[in-house]
Amino acid sequence: MSSIPSLQLNDGHHIPQFGLGTWKTPNEEAPQLIRSALEMGYRHIDTAAAYNNEEGVGQGIAESGIDRSELFVTTKLWNERQGFDETLKAFDESLSKLKLDYVDLYLIHWPCPKAGKFLDTWKAFLRLREEGRVRSVGVSNFRQEDLEQIILETGVTPVVNQIEVHPLLQQNDLREVNRQKNILTEAWSPLAQGGELLKHPLFQELAKKHGKTPAQVILRWHVELGSIIFPKSTNPERIRENADIFDFSLDSDDMQKIAALDEGKRLGPDPAEFC
């Protein structure tokens, strides 16, 4: 596996630009899967309380024998646990399931703007960071106004905003907002959850041109945009294939052709409406 670049976060810590996503990975399969991905060279794992696999992920990490300092582990606070006190409790549960002393990155999974609790939740995140149990704090699915509210009220800018991005939903405006605020974009569902997009003639053509697979071309497109990605797979062949994207690049012609595919098509919920 070619070596994975590391990006600097706005708090000085570093994050591998590429990792393994675990949404829908069953808890029972997670230990074996995590062990084999770590053996292949993966060092960054993205999970969440809502994925119900933190225990399996933690077991895989423990069994891998890899030094904790070499790993980057992200988990997320689920929506119904928002609020200052509840966040602290939910974090204790996540950390104990993961069997870790700290997580590298803790994210507010969704802003849930109608519930009006993300600011208090963010303040609890800052407490956890002060205590050293969370290295870096970030958010997911935040809109510009949500980002501005927490930054204005606390003076602390999230290190990342994890948002839905793939060729059918390129999020140019929100990625630019993130960039201007020195927030790195993490692209969730980077492959648009597999399926039809991988069969698109453009990705077939670019795959042939670069001697890569359509999935590798799409993942490389995210890397060219400077985003952090963690495609999900439970298939060892694909896990290996997805990581093998750091030995080629797309040219400006390729990038322009992919830019033309943007349809503003969401696969997930609209953050303004959800929860």
Rounded CA-CA distance 185/163 in Å is 7
Computed over its alpha carbons, how large is the radius of gyration of the chain?
A: 18
Instruction: List the interface residues with ligand NAD, window 129-158 (CB under 6 A).
Output: 140-141
Q: How far is the CB of 65 from ligand NAD (least distance, A)?
A: 24
Residue from 2, 162, 165 nearest 74 by CA: 162
Strands across the sheet containing 134-140? 20-21, 44-46, 72-77, 103-108, 134-140, 160-164, 184-188, 228-229
Task: Give yes or no for residue 78 binding ligand NAD (CB under 6 A).
Answer: no
Toward ligand NAD, which CB reaches closer, 227 or 233? 233
Binding residue (CB under 6 A) for ligand NAD from 33, 230, 245, 250: 230
One symbol per residue from 6 to 45: x for binding ligand NAD (CB under 6 A), - otherwise; what is it? ---------------xxx----------------------
Toward ligand NAD, which CB reaches closer, 12 or 117? 117
DSSP 198: G
- Judged on CB neighbours under 10 Å (0-12, 13-18, 19+), 222 is buried
Instruction: Tell me if 198 sits within 8 A of 166, measured CB to CB.
Output: no
β-pairing verdict for 6-8 and 14-16: antiparallel
One symbol per residue from 183 to 222: x for binding ligand NAD (CB under 6 A), - otherwise; what is it? -----xxxxxxx---x----------------x-------
CB atoms within 10 A of CB 144: 15
Whether 106 sits among the annotated catalytic residues: the reply is no
Rounded CA-CA distance 252/241 in Å is 24
Task: Give yes or no for residue 241 binding ligand NAD (CB under 6 A).
Answer: yes
Toward ligand NAD, which CB reaches closer, 109 or 117? 109
Residue from 107, 82, 105, 94 nearest 53 by CA: 94
Task: Give yes or no for residue 238 binding ligand NAD (CB under 6 A).
Answer: yes
Q: How far is the CB of 195 from ligand NAD (least distance, A)?
A: 7
Toward ligand NAD, which CB reaches closer, 100 or 160? 160
Q: How far is the CB of 190 from ligand NAD (least distance, A)?
A: 5
CA 179 to mean position of chain CA atoms? 16
Determine the interface stretch with ligand NAD among 167-175, 176-184, 231-239, 244-252 (rule: CB under 6 A).
231-239
Q: How far is the CB of 64 from ligand NAD (least distance, A)?
A: 18
Instruction: Tell me if 164 sits within 8 A of 21, measured CB to CB.
Output: no
Task: Give yes or no for residue 46 binding ligand NAD (CB under 6 A).
Answer: yes
Amino acid in position 214: P
Residue ranges of the binding site for substrate: 109
Q: How far is the CB of 146 from ligand NAD (least distance, A)?
A: 14
Rounded CA-CA distance 275/270 in Å is 10
The footprint of ligand NAD (CB under 6 A) covers 21-23, 46, 109, 140-141, 162, 188-194, 198, 215, 230-233, 238, 241-242, 268
Catalytic positions, please? 51
